[in-house]
């Protein structure tokens, strides 16, 4: 094929899913001339699976993306049909926002955001080859014969690489939702030194809402007493669409068990590794034989459609089996399926072949982000996309990369896990993965990250001023919280709460530490006037868990000592006496930046770290 000069730019982003959008916006907003390649403009930021943003730990990621100056939270708030705080009955560290999104509006909003961003060109086309010169990126070739000369590339291809969908015995080379797959780039990635493996995910059927009897289901309303995803949004919608809860039953499980030989998961037709924490309904029925039923949530896909997403019923069973099993669910007895469920297999790379900046260890200025790195979920993808975009821009300016530590952000936990530990299955962020999660709460994401976003250049004046105002409100509230009130003023209330009569003064801080909620203090004493919900939560949590936070800081300081001990990149660990062979091989593969990262590598134990400490002293 003869190639023509399509254009020349600073950076090319391959893919326009949730990772690609954040990458492209970050680069363009930082002043870099950017081209975003997408197979189809209608697939930009498309929610190919669940019509929602957030969830356990995922809500944390969205708030962090927003605090750094990313876009996901802003558009998620605009497309919100319902929002809830998950894990209300648990501690603040594990509570997470989750919203039902109008998936079509979210796509339109993100497409419009991209189109109106300076320095950014959107181009429909398939990338077939990434060109290099002297070990660095030099260009991208498209399937139309176009040559884009560039100095940096971010590969954010999602689940489109050699994508193939399966339902029963039927298979088709296809991306999600009927979009075209990307069939050319995998071979090129292998040529560039990447290890490619096969992963799998899936999606449930969509059902015509007019054919559902919602009276047989439990209503799941939204909440209005929560804060939104974005620190730039003033509140959540007062009017929200309901979701509904129903369950599988013995008959559902009988149909699934009777047709397991027709399931491609068990017949061998599917070879890709699926997500452990979001299994198909057939996997749940087989794996949890003792469970009599499984939860099913019925979620609206948008304001202008009757389609309902049947969360919890992901499947790759044949269509006739799907129809039969769906109609055993209370409320769905007469349902009409509009889109059948399917599994999708795709190519991904080994995340341990990346630096913590998400740059390839083998090709300079080549970054990857999102599901190609082995993750699952829109939020994990967007978080990586933002960091890859920031670091591609910093690489072009010969600036050090932004590396968020595990004690600074869930984004740091996510990327460190991918790069240091790797993953053999689609990775999902969870609060249990964060050892410092009491510090990494949703409510304080801006206090942790907005100053970094400002330094990078993504936090503009309007966001910066909001941050400064919130920070000042927080500091003023702490002064108010620690002001002492006389026993005469407070005794009647304190005794009514079951505490002994006061002999000395008490502060609102003391009351919070005794278990009295800050919302009750606000209502009873008209305290903390005009404070936002997230600021109230920050004040309450900082006092309520003051002892744990102090101990946590001590742990962080101890861990920092290891993080500060840098490891030269040219070390040949095979030559270090005292290291076990497994540790030598693992360390040579990952090439960790410091002792802290070395200690998190699979195959490296504390004795190996002690050997490395002696080696560094020598």
Helices 319-326 and 250-258, axial angle in degrees (round to 10):
170
Using the predicted structure, report yes or no on whether residue 414 has a pLDDT greater than 70.
yes
- Give, in words, the CATH class of 564-617: mainly alpha
614 Cβ neighbours under 8 A, 6+ residues apart: 578
Residue 226: CB atoms within 10 Å:
18
**CATH classification for the domain delimited by 461-553, as one of 1.20.59.10, 3.40.640.10, 1.10.132.20, 1.10.10.1800:** 1.10.10.1800
* For residues 311-319, average pLDDT: 96
* For residues 437-454, average pLDDT: 96
Structure tokens at 371: 């599901």
Residue-wise pLDDT for 103-129, tens only, equals: 999 999 999 999 999 999 999 999 999
Using the predicted structure, report yes or no on whether residue 280 has a pLDDT greater than 80.
yes
Strands of 65-114 (E only): list them: 80-86, 96-101
* For residues 382-391, average pLDDT: 98
**Three state DSSP letters for 11-44:** EEEECCCHHHHHHHHHHHHCCCCEEEEECCHHHC
26 Cβ neighbours under 8 A, 6+ residues apart: 69, 70, 385, 386, 389, 390, 393, 458
345 band by pLDDT with thresholds 50, 70 and 90: very high
DSSP structure class, residue 538: H
Structure tokens at 225: 């007493």
* Rg, Å, the chain Cα set: 26
Lowest mean pLDDT among 274-278, 305-309, 585-589, 600-604: 274-278
Same fold, 206-344 and 564-617: no
Cα–Cα distance for residue pair 78/73, rounded to 1 Å = 9
| Residue 34, beta-bridge partner list | 11, 120
The structural domains of the chain, with segments of one domain joined by +, span 206-344, 461-553, 564-617
Q: What is the largest CA-CA distance in the chain?
A: 89
120 Cβ neighbours under 8 A, 6+ residues apart: 24, 25, 27, 28, 34, 35, 36, 114
Residue reference for tokens 């591609």: 392
Cα–Cα distance for residue pair 121/554, rounded to 1 Å = 48
Please report the pLDDT score of residue 560 as a whole number.
Answer: 87
CB 76, CB 99: distance < 8 Å: yes
Cα–Cα distance for residue pair 577/615, rounded to 1 Å = 9
* H helix or E strand, kind and range, residue 150: none
CB 460, CB 450: distance < 8 Å: no
* For residues 242-253, average pLDDT: 97
| Residue 368, beta-bridge partner list | 155
Whole-prediction pTM:
0.95
**Three state DSSP letters for 236-286:** CCCCCCCEEEEECCHHHHHHHHHCHHHCHHHHCCCCCECCCCCCCHHHHHH
Cα–Cα distance for residue pair 296/244, rounded to 1 Å = 8
Q: For the chain, what is the mean pLDDT?
A: 95
Residue-wise pLDDT for 361-377, tens only, equals: 999 999 999 999 999 99
Using the predicted structure, report yes or no on whether residue 1 has a pLDDT greater than 70.
no
CB 386, CB 367: distance < 8 Å: no
Cα–Cα distance for residue pair 209/308, rounded to 1 Å = 6
The CATH number given to 206-344 is: 2.40.30.260
148 band by pLDDT with thresholds 50, 70 and 90: very high
Cα–Cα distance for residue pair 183/525, rounded to 1 Å = 64
Structure tokens at 405: 């530590």
Cα–Cα distance for residue pair 48/202, rounded to 1 Å = 10
Cα–Cα distance for residue pair 312/127, rounded to 1 Å = 35
| Higher-scoring residue by pLDDT: 19, 276 | 19
CB 521, CB 540: distance < 8 Å: no
CB 162, CB 26: distance < 8 Å: no
């Amino acid at each position: 094929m003869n190639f023509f000069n399509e254009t020349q730019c600073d950076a090319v982003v391959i893919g326009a899913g949730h990772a690609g959008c954040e990458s492209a916006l970050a680069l363009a907003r930082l002043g870099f001339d950017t081209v975003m390649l997408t197979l189809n403009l209608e697939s930009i930021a498309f929610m190919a699976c669940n019509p929602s943003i957030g969830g356990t730990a995922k809500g944390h990621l969205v708030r962090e993306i927003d605090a750094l100056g990313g876009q996901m939270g802003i558009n998620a708030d605009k497309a919100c049909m319902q929002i809830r705080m998950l894990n209300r009955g648990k501690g603040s560290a594990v509570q997470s926002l989750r919203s039902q999104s109008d998936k079509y509006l979210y796509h339109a909003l993100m497409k419009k955001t991209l189109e109106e961003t300076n320095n950014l060109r959107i181009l429909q086309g398939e990338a077939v080859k990434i060109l290099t010169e002297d070990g660095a990126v030099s260009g991208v070739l498209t399937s139309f014969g176009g040559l884009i000369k560039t100095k940096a590339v971010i590969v954010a291809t999602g689940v489109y690489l050699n994508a193939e969908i399966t339902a029963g015995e039927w298979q088709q080379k296809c991306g999600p939702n009927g979009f075209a797959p990307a069939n050319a780039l995998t071979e090129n990635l292998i040529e560039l030194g990447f290890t490619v493996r096969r992963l799998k995910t899936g999606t449930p059927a969509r059902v015509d809402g007019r054919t559902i009897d919602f009276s047989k289901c439990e209503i799941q309303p939204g909440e209005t007493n929560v804060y939104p995803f974005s620190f730039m949004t003033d509140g959540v919608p007062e009017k929200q669409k309901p979701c509904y809860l129903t369950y599988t039953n013995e008959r559902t499980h009988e149909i699934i068990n009777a047709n397991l030989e027709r399931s491609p998961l068990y017949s061998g037709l599917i070879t890709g590794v699926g997500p452990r924490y979001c299994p198909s309904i057939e996997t749940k029925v087989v794996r949890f034989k003792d469970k009599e039923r499984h939860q099913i949530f019925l979620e609206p896909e948008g304001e202008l459609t009757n389609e309902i997403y049947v969360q919890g019923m992901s499947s790759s069973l044949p269509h006739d089996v799907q129809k039969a099993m769906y109609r055993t669910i209370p409320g769905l007895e007469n349902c009409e399926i509009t889109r059948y469920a399917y599994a999708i297999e795709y190519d991904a790379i080994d995340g341990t072949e990346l630096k913590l900046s998400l740059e390839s260890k083998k090709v300079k200025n080549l970054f990857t982000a999102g599901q190609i790195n082995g993750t699952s979920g829109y939020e994990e993808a967007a978080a990586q996309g933002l960091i890859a975009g920031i670091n591609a821009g910093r690489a072009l300016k010969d600036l050090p990369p932004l590396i968020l530590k595990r004690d600074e952000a869930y984004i740091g936990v996510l990327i460190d896990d991918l790069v240091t530990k790797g993953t053999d299955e689609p990775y999902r962020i969870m609060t249990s993965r964060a050892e410092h999660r009491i510090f990494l709460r949703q409510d304080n994401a801006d206090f942790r990250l907005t100053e970094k976003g400002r330094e990078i250049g993504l936090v503009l004046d309007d966001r910066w001023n909001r941050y400064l105002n919130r920070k000042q409100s927080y500091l003023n509230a702490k002064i108010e919280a620690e002001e002492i009130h006389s026993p005469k003023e407070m005794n009647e209330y304190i005794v009514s709460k079951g505490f002994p009569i006061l002999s000395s003064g008490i502060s609102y801080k003391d009351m919070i530490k005794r278990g009295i909620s800050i919302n009750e203090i606000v209502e009873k004493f008209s305290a903390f006037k005009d404070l936002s919900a997230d600021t109230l939560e920050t004040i309450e949590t900082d006092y309520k868990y003051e002892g744990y936070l102090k101990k946590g800081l001590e742990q962080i300081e101890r861990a920092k000592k290891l993080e500060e001990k840098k490891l030269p990149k040219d070390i040949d660990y095979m030559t270090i006496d005292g290291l076990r062979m497994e540790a030598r091989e693992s360390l040579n593969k990952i090439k960790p930046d410091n002792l802290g990262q070395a200690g998190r590598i699979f195959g490296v134990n504390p004795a190996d770290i002690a050997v490395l400490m002696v080696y560094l002293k020598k």
